[in-house]
Structure 1
């Protein structure tokens, strides 16, 4: 049984663990992304070295925020300076591989999450899948025959940046959790900082008309983006992830209805919606699967 270090680098925390080639975790933990003056590569190396003292590692799989050039260098092409100062341009894969002398793969976090859901989650067995993650922003990824479609500049699937109706707004301005909270807060004469998405759904369950309208607005706008995915990619499954998608019993019917309005039946008949099931493990499992593909390890 091979063991692999799997690491998920987010703006707040680095989640990590040790997993087998079947995707079974042997251990999991987390730590703050910015602990003092420690750089992200140094933090990753410290995690891996500590893990290597307990497990005989066969490789290291990393998913991270930012645009990633996968391959030998595992380069962070771009990451926002506010959250990740100095991270853009970091050849994270090369640094870790040369230090640890092990196979390394670095992938974008949303891409990895999509691949994880295809391998072990809501899209398991699907020949094609598009995953959208709905949070403060929107992210997306298309997976075809178990392979991520990266695009010419490694930014394919960025559905949040779709331009709407020739306006200055983009999709994530109106179809993110942030947008829903903003609308609910305005209607209640509150600051968005005083609200959470969970509160908006709680209000809606109590019959609050303004909260219901904010949720309907989220579903209507997000449905426009999903309709574009149906028309352009015709995937077998669209996987909906992100914290707000835990409200599947509310959002599922609204999104289904919106797609019925916007996409002709012949184009949508073989595309179904599914809600992500892997949670915080999705990115780590997807990065592991990509590493196993890279190293030609047979997986089930």
Structure 2
């Protein structure tokens, strides 16, 4: 990032999730200074949750910093207004710019969470040195983002990259219906009684979490491994169409489900290889993200920094 005496030296990024809010602070070169994450209080007003994160950032980093906020939903271009969000519907149509004026006088750069994570990986993670990237996030929702010729590609109205809405069967079932954390748990509950040897039987149907599935898979539980591999196969099948269409250089996969690492990634690669046009598949690298669950917050900070510097 080029020097600009009119721009604050600290870049702060906040990512708003369904259950957690993650904050990072970067220096003017984009290097990580600090990061922390806090659980969302379901009893709190939606906007005040973001406002409290902003207020805490002021306590930690002072009055002057560049601020970016990543949100899980479709954003109205140039504003913080969420047009649609399956994860935080209570934020839809809220004028966040006006509401957050109670907490800060700073200008805020708002970005879709998948776009922010993709940009973070491009600049500071697994996408460094690449120009044509598709980023996939697998967590409470399923999202995607495109980097074309080194720049975020948002589409005509800013809604590009909605990977979770791709149909995965002829009945119109969407990828998010099978590959989000809640739906992996749902599929696991529907089938785990078929395998009495699975350690998940000891957890109990009502108590299974995605962490339980990942942990069981890491402990070589065949059933848990199968559920995660099948998730990867669903994702890989949808991804093949993206690879065929765009002839990408790199696909980066991030999000909470990537705690399972190889199990999901192997399924993605295998199915994408089976369904992709061979020359296109042979020219693409499918890799795990390097920034983990901080990717969205880091990307939000970097995008805000570029915007403040006139980039």
Q: What TM-score results when the alignment is normalised by the length of structure 2?
A: 0.81
3, 13, 32: which is aligned to 2:20?
13
Q: Which residue of 2 aligns with 1:59?
A: 66
245, 252, 276: which is aligned to 1:239?
252
Question: RMSD of aligned C-alpha atoms?
Answer: 2.9
Q: Which residue of 2 aligns with 1:151?
A: 155
Structure 1 segment 1-300 matched on structure 2, within 5 A: 2-34=9-41, 37-40=44-47, 42-52=48-58, 54-71=61-78, 73-80=79-86, 83-85=88-90, 87-93=91-97, 96=100, 100-189=104-193, 193-204=206-217, 208-296=221-309
Q: Distance in 2 between matches of 1:140 and 1:279?
A: 15
User: How far 1:34 sits from its partner (Å)?
Assistant: 4.1
- Structure 2 residue matching 1:11: 3-state secondary structure: coil
User: How far 1:147 sits from its partner (Å)?
Assistant: 2.5
Q: What TM-score results when the alignment is normalised by the length of structure 1?
A: 0.84
Q: Distance in 2 between matches of 1:34 and 1:203?
A: 29
User: How far 1:217 sits from its partner (Å)?
Assistant: 2.0
CA contact (8 A) 1:5 1:57 kept: no
- Structure 2 residue matching 1:211: 3-state secondary structure: helix
Structure 2 residues not aligned, in runs of 5+: 1-7, 194-200
Comparing 166-175 and 92-101, the one that deviates more: 92-101
Q: Distance in 1 between matches of 2:189 and 2:42?
A: 34
Aligned residues: 294
Q: Bigger relative contact order, structure 1 or 2, given CA contacts below 8 A and separation 6+? A: 2
